[in-house]
């Protein structure tokens, strides 16, 4: 049979297939191959009855996240607050680059709009991101229909109101997340269930920390691939290896001049690019010293 792992707990994998859930285990041969089944995996499995089946094969994954380990994610809701903490386009672009890199569709959600005197400025920012092709939502009402038929994760820095949002749309998940942050015990992670939750005709999972985010962006090789509007404009660059910084005949610089690429996005592209270059230099120096 074929199905999808929707929950893992204490060595058991719960596989959803044909509207039923089967309790399965992974055979020892996965361990030998260094493979671990994760929540989100599409699998072949055997199940004589519902009590215990075996996973036979794990299908190729389109992407994966490490903490918690979940795979084959369709989209991520990036929660950014309008105020407290202040909206931060640089941080947002970091999230977007990382998600593009992992082939996870970003949905941008702005919280705490009620703290603003006027949302005029936020509307301008929203327009810029919508022009790139991103969903940029300013209310829960706009967000909910986007969850249908998708596997969604939620991410955002501390204080943006992630638990408030999850509390409303997935109380079960919010509870789980709260328990973890209250316990302070890192060891608890090992026994914690990883699970998808059914909400609004879709499935959601939480994504707590993104501490490695900075590092990941700093190591992304083809940065221009992860800025959709830069990727598009780069087809008109004279040189194939154009970095869109100083080269003549650059399609990206042209699009920037015409206002087709937003200055803020281009500035962040330049900043991430220099971070990658600095990292490479540090790395080369370390190698030479050895
Ligand atoms: Zn260029």
Domains and CATH numbers, the chain: 2-60 (2.40.50.140), 65-206 (3.40.50.300), 220-289 (1.10.40.50)
How does pLDDT run across 85-119, given as a tens digit for each residue? 999 999 999 999 999 999 999 999 999 999 999 99
How does pLDDT run across 241-267, given as a tens digit for each residue? 899 999 999 999 999 999 999 999 999
How does pLDDT run across 17-61, given as a tens digit for each residue? 998 999 999 987 787 888 899 999 999 999 876 678 999 999 999
- For residue 97, report the distance from its CA to the centre of ligand 1, in Å: 18
- For residue 236, report the distance from its CA to the centre of ligand 1, in Å: 8
SS3 277: helix
- For residue 266, report the distance from its CA to the centre of ligand 1, in Å: 12
- For residue 229, report the distance from its CA to the centre of ligand 1, in Å: 12
d(CA 96, CA 132): 12
- For residue 131, report the distance from its CA to the centre of ligand 1, in Å: 20
pLDDT at 192: 66
- For residue 264, report the distance from its CA to the centre of ligand 1, in Å: 17
Taking the model in full, what pTM does it have?
0.86
d(CA 117, CA 56): 57
SS3 203: strand
- For residue 101, report the distance from its CA to the centre of ligand 1, in Å: 20
Pure H helices in the chain: 28-32, 89-101, 120-132, 140-143, 162-169, 171-183, 213-219, 228-233, 251-257, 263-289
């Amino acid at each position: 049979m074929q199905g999808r792992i929707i929950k893992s707990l204490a060595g058991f994998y719960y596989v959803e297939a044909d509207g039923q859930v089967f309790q399965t285990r992974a055979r020892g041969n996965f361990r030998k191959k260094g493979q671990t089944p994760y929540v989100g995996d599409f699998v072949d499995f055997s199940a004589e009855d519902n009590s215990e089946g075996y996973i036979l094969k794990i299908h190729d994954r389109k992407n994966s996240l490490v903490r918690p380990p979940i795979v084959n994610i369709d989209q991520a809701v990036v929660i950014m607050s309008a105020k407290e903490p202040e909206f931060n386009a640089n941080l947002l672009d970091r999230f977007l680059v990382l998600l593009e890199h992992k082939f996870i569709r970003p949905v941008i959600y702005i919280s705490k709009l009620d703290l603003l005197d006027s949302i005029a400025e936020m509307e301008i920012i929203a327009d810029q991101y919508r022009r790139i092709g991103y969903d940029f939502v300013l209310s829960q009402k706009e967000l909910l229909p986007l969850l249908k038929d998708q596997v969604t994760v939620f991410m955002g820095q501390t204080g943006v109101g992630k638990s408030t949002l999850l509390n409303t749309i997935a109380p079960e998940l919010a509870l789980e997340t709260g328990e973890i942050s209250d316990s302070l015990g890192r060891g608890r992670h090992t026994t914690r269930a990883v699970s998808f939750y059914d909400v609004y005709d879709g499935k959601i999972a939480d994504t707590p920390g993104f501490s490695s985010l900075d590092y990941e962006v700093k190591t992304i090789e083809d940065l221009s691939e992860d800025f959709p509007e830069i990727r598009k404009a780069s087809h008109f660059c004279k040189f194939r290896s154009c970095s869109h910084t100083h080269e003549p005949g650059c399609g990206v610089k042209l699009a920037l001049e015409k206002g087709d690429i937003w200055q803020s996005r281009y500035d962040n592209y330049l900043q991430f690019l220099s971070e990658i270059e600095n990292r490479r230099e540090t790395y080369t120096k370390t190698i030479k010293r050895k």
